[in-house]
């Protein structure tokens, strides 16, 4: 290849690279400015009040079990690790503030239960829900809320309605106290 053709080819590639760098802010970013850390916004910290190593009691004071909730995956996910007091029930959940602007929880346990809840912060409470089909075939709305109490404890309230919210039945009420 003649030298002038080679010089023109290199110049064309350099010019094209400069145009691409100008067209793409990510490529044009100053090399000394680190990109923003994923999941670092305040909305990702809304559920951090649930993080901790907890003893969970029922409203009558009976110990229901223990729960360890920790931040994992670079601060993007809260992982829950539940075990009932008698050791027969074990479950885990993953909680994430997703790109759709909502909180999501996926719960699985050793009874085969799967919950896929969606929601967000409402008046200082984390509230997530899922509509499912009840054993009798009717629609059932499951709602779980977590409330930070003034004592530093957290109250979890799981309830279900099969009549579009006219009446509710408690599935679980637990008070979380740090161990």
Give the CATH number, domain containing residue 87: 2.40.128.20
83 and 55 in one domain? yes
> 142 in helix, strand or coil?
strand
8 Å CB contact between 109 and 10: no
Listed residue (115, 108, 120, 177) closest to 142, CA to CA: 115
- 20 has a pLDDT exceeding 70: no
User: Residue 50: its pLDDT value, please?
Assistant: 98
Q: Which domain holds residue 108?
A: 42-178
105 and 46 in one domain? yes
Position 53 confidence tier, pLDDT thresholds 50, 70, 90: very high
- Number of structural domains in the chain: 2
pTM above 0.85, yes or no: no
User: Could you tell me the two tokens for 60?
Assistant: 């009558």
130 and 96 in one domain? yes
170 and 98 in one domain? yes
What average pLDDT does the chain have?
88
> pLDDT for 159-174, tens place per residue?
999 999 999 999 999 9
63 and 146 in one domain? yes
User: Residue 134: its pLDDT value, please?
Assistant: 80
Place of tokens 């829950």: 80
* Highest-pLDDT range among 22-26, 27-31, 37-41, 156-160: 156-160
């Amino acid at each position: 290849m003649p030298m002038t053709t080679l010089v023109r080819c290199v110049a064309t590639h350099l010019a094209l690279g400069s145009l691409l760098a100008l067209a793409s802010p990510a490529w044009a970013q100053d090399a000394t400015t680190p990109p923003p850390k994923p999941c670092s916004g305040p909305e990702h910290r809304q559920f951090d009040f649930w993080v901790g190593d907890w003893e969970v009691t029922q409203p009558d004071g009976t110990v229901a079990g223990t729960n360890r909730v920790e931040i994992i995956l670079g601060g993007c996910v809260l992982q829950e690790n539940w075990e009932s007091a008698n050791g027969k029930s074990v479950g885990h959940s993953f909680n994430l503030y997703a790109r759709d602007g909502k909180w999501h929880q996926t719960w699985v346990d050793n009874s085969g239960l799967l919950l896929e809840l969606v929601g967000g912060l409402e008046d200082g409470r984390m509230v997530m829900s899922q509509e499912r089909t009840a054993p009798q075939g009717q629609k059932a709305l499951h709602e779980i809320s977590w409330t930070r109490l003034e004592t530093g404890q957290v109250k979890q309230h799981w309830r279900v309605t099969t009549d579009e919210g006219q009446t509710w039945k408690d599935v679980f009420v637990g008070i979380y106290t740090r161990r």
